[in-house]
Amino acid sequence: MARVGERRVRAGIGAAVAATVAAAALSAVTLAAAAPAGAGGADWLYPHRDRYEAGQQVLLVGYTEAIARSTGDDSVLAEAALRGDGPYYAYLRVDPAAIERDAPWDGSPWPYVRPADRRMSQVTAEEVSPVASRFSLRVSAAFRLPEELAPGGYEVIVCNDPCTTTLGYLVGSFVYVGTDPPEPIVRDWPLDDPAIRHLDADALVAAPVCEADCTSIDDSTVTAAEIRAGYRPPIATAPREPEPAATSTTTSPVSAPVADAGTSPAGRAGADPAGGVPSEVVAWLLAFGALLVVSCVAWRWRPREARMVVRQGNARAEHRESDDDPDPVQIKL
């Protein structure tokens, strides 16, 4: 009976192992599939102060792509819509609770404007020529905060009137009134942006390059005072590669160019001719093989019922009587 119990335990372990291996194999196949790339990004308008008081003047500046997008389906509109659908305005969400209460649960993309939002001022959008064409539209807005605002964070939304079109990939930005932001605001502006002259001396701007290991905010930012004092990031230069030592050869030089010279094997893999087995198929075959092996082991260790086998036979033949009168043996000397 102990043997039967042991087999039952082994069979349970085998089934558990088989399920675990199958799940792991399927997970590996799922993880091996390429994740789809997201379309577009998110850009913000940054305030020129970390903290405002009610009634103060606000200046917001941000950079985004020089396109117009529909707020109905998030599609990119024709190039003429960038100016044709304007003017564009900055809306202040004076009721923070409206963010969740008035959210468009029908799946409409950002941004959206509700009746409680207050239109503050028209925004200025001008095309610039930065290093990255992704941020070729500079958007700015200036307005005075209402006197009756209670302390808190307030959202600013940019779109036309009615809110059917927005600029680039701008999303809701925040201004903090009567309270400090949860963390210092780092403005993603170029160092020559004209709004830097309006910043406080200790206001932070994103550094174009990391001069240290960038593990803290001090490594990846520069203050407005440093920029106004003439700070410019060092020019990054790649170290010169040493020339290979001259070697003698007895073979004749090859005059024909070598195919794929100077490219890595990873770069050539995408251009190899078809005929190989896709990695997804290999992963599925390995998973099926592992599941088949473990299932066979589990079947071998399955519990079996104890059986008693009774055989019929001649009891006298099985239990022979001893021969007390053996035959004599004669030996010649």
Beta-bridged to residue 62, according to DSSP, are 139
Within a domain: 145: yes
Tell me which residue of 63, 206, 209 sits closest to 137, measured CA to CA. Answer: 63
Across the chain, the runs of DSSP E, i.e. the strands, are: 46-47, 57-64, 68-70, 88-93, 118-122, 124-127, 137-144, 152-160, 165-167, 173-177, 186-187, 204-206, 221-223
Q: Over range 12-23, report the average pLDDT.
A: 42
Contact between 76 and 199 (Cβ < 8 Å):
no
Among 106-110, 174-178, 257-261, 327-331, the range of highest mean pLDDT: 174-178
Question: What is the pLDDT at residue 67?
Answer: 93
Instruction: Please classify residue 190 by burial: count the beta carbons closer than 10 Å to its beta carbon, then call 0-12 exposed, 13-18 middle and 19+ buried.
Output: middle
Contact between 93 and 32 (Cβ < 8 Å):
no
Amino acid in position 150: A
Q: Over range 201-210, report the average pLDDT.
A: 90
130 upstream amide cis, omega within 30 of 0: no
Beta-bridged to residue 6, according to DSSP, are none
pLDDT single digits (tens) 222-275:
999 999 999 887 765 555 666 666 554 444 444 444 344 433 333 333 444 444
Q: How far apart are CA 11 and CA 17, in angstroms?
A: 10
Question: What is the pLDDT at residue 13?
Answer: 43
Across 68-184, the runs of DSSP E, i.e. the strands, are: 68-70, 88-93, 118-122, 124-127, 137-144, 152-160, 165-167, 173-177
For residue 71, the tally of other CB atoms under 10 A from its CB is: 21
Query: Cα 3 from chain centroid?
Result: 52
Q: Over range 137-151, report the average pLDDT.
A: 96
For residue 217, the tally of other CB atoms under 10 A from its CB is: 11
Q: How far apart are CA 54 and CA 147, in angstroms?
A: 5
Half-sphere exposure of 84 (CA within 13 A, CB side): 7
Tell me the pLDDT band of 290, cut-offs 50, 70 and 90.
confident
Within a domain: 172: yes
User: What total number of domains does the chain contain?
Assistant: 1
Question: What is the pLDDT at residue 16?
Answer: 44
Within a domain: 332: no
Which of the pair, 327 or 59, is modelled with greater confidence?
59
What sections of 126-278 are H helices per DSSP?
Answer: 224-228, 265-269
CATH number at residue 153: 2.60.40
Within a domain: 138: yes
Residue 15's SS3 state is helix
Within a domain: 322: no
Within a domain: 75: yes
For residue 156, the tally of other CB atoms under 10 A from its CB is: 24
pLDDT single digits (tens) 20-75:
444 443 333 333 333 222 334 689 999 999 999 999 999 999 999 999 999 888 89
Within a domain: 254: no
Contact between 66 and 136 (Cβ < 8 Å):
yes
Residue 329's SS3 state is coil
For residue 22, the tally of other CB atoms under 10 A from its CB is: 16
Tell me the pLDDT band of 168, cut-offs 50, 70 and 90.
very high
Number of H helices, E strands in the chain: 7, 13
Q: Which domain holds residue 83?
A: 46-182
pLDDT at 165 over 80: yes
Residue 70's SS3 state is strand
Q: How far apart are CA 92 and CA 54, in angstroms?
A: 13
Q: How far apart are CA 71 and CA 66, in angstroms?
A: 16
Average pLDDT across the chain, whole number = 72
Amino acid in position 22: A
Within a domain: 146: yes
